């Protein structure tokens, strides 16, 4: 098992860039099986005004991150909706802390 290093991320990015559309769909299917909430969080973005062209960026990030974890031989525990909500609350709190009040 290797660490998730910059080199691993670069390799994963190259792998994803070289994938056909069908291979990306198959990788997304793997993500659906192992991390359905992460995939759902991306796929729901159009409901919040993200157009399909913009959606390519978070999808790519998810595919690369997942591919990198595969390269490392590591598996994340399934990320629950509760964990995601906790992370969002932390992000909102940090944003509120860093936003100057005026």
Find out whether 78 and 37 touch, Cβ atoms under 8 Å: yes
For the record, the structure tokens of 77 come out as 């525990």
Average pLDDT over residues 9-30: 97
**Above 60 in pLDDT, residue 9?**
yes
User: Rg of the Cα trace of the chain?
Assistant: 16
What pLDDT is recorded for position 90?
Answer: 82
Two structure tokens written together for 75: 């598996």
What is the number of other CB atoms lying within 10 angstroms of the CB of residue 82? Answer: 9
Is the model's pLDDT at 27 over the cut of 60? yes
Give the Cα separation of 17 and 80 in Å (integer).
Answer: 28
Per-residue confidence (pLDDT) for residue 64, from 0 to 100: 97
**What pLDDT was estimated at residue 1?**
56
pTM, two decimal places: 0.80
- Number of CB atoms found within 10 A of residue 68's CB: 21
């Amino acid at each position: 098992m290797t660490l998730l290093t910059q080199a691993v991320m670069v390799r994963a990015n190259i792998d994803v860039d070289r994938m056909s559309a069908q291979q990306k769909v198959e990788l997304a299917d793997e993500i659906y099986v192992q991390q359905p909430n992460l995939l759902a969080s991306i796929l729901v973005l159009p409901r919040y005004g993200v157009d399909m062209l913009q959606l390519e960026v978070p999808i790519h990030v998810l595919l690369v991150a997942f591919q990198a974890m595969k390269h490392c031989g590591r598996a994340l525990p399934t990320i629950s909706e509760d964990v995601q909500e906790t992370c969002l609350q932390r992000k909102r709190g940090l944003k509120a802390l860093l936003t100057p009040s005026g």
